[in-house]
Amino acid sequence: MQKKRTSFVFFCLLLAAFLFCLPSIAEAKTANFTYCVKLKPGWQQVSVPKTQNVQVVVRCPEQIAKHHEQKVIISLAFYRVKKGDTLYSIAKRFDTTVEQLRLLNKLNGVKITPGEVLLVPICWRVIPKPQPQPEPEPEPQPEPKPNPQPQPEPEPEPSPKPQPEPEPEPEPQPQPEPQPEPEPEPEPQPQPVPGLNEAEQKMLALINAERSKVGLAPLQVDMELVRLARLKSQDMIEHNYFSHQSPTYGSPFDMMRAAGITYRLAGENLAGAPTVERAHTSLMNSSGHRANILNPNYTHIGIGAVGGGRYGMMFTQLFVGR
pLDDT digits (tens), the chain, 322 positions: 555 566 776 777 777 665 554 443 333 333 333 333 344 444 344 443 333 444 443 433 443 334 444 555 667 788 889 988 998 899 888 888 888 888 888 888 888 889 888 888 877 666 666 666 666 665 656 666 656 565 655 555 555 565 656 565 655 565 656 666 656 555 546 677 788 999 999 999 999 999 999 999 999 999 999 999 999 999 999 999 999 999 999 999 999 999 999 999 999 999 999 999 999 999 999 999 999 999 999 999 999 999 998 999 999 999 999 9
Burial 25-56 (b: 16+ CB within 10 A, else e): eeeeeeeeeeeeeeeeeeeeebbeeeebbbee
Q: Report the pLDDT value the prediction gives residue 38, as an integer from 0 to 100.
A: 41
Q: What is the pLDDT of residue 256?
A: 94
Residues in the chain: 322
- Alpha-carbon span 58 to 124, nearest angstrom: 12
Does the pTM surpass 0.85? The reply is no
pLDDT of residue 79: 85
pLDDT at 175: 66
Q: How far apart are CA 6 and CA 28, in angstroms?
A: 33
Please work out, in degrees rounded to the nearest 5, the angle formed at the alpha carbon of residue 259 by the alpha carbons of 255 and 262: 95
Quote the pLDDT of residue 147: 66
Q: What is the pLDDT of residue 178?
A: 63
CB 231 within 8 A of CB 317: no
Contact indicator for 76, 54 with CB cutoff of 8 Å: yes
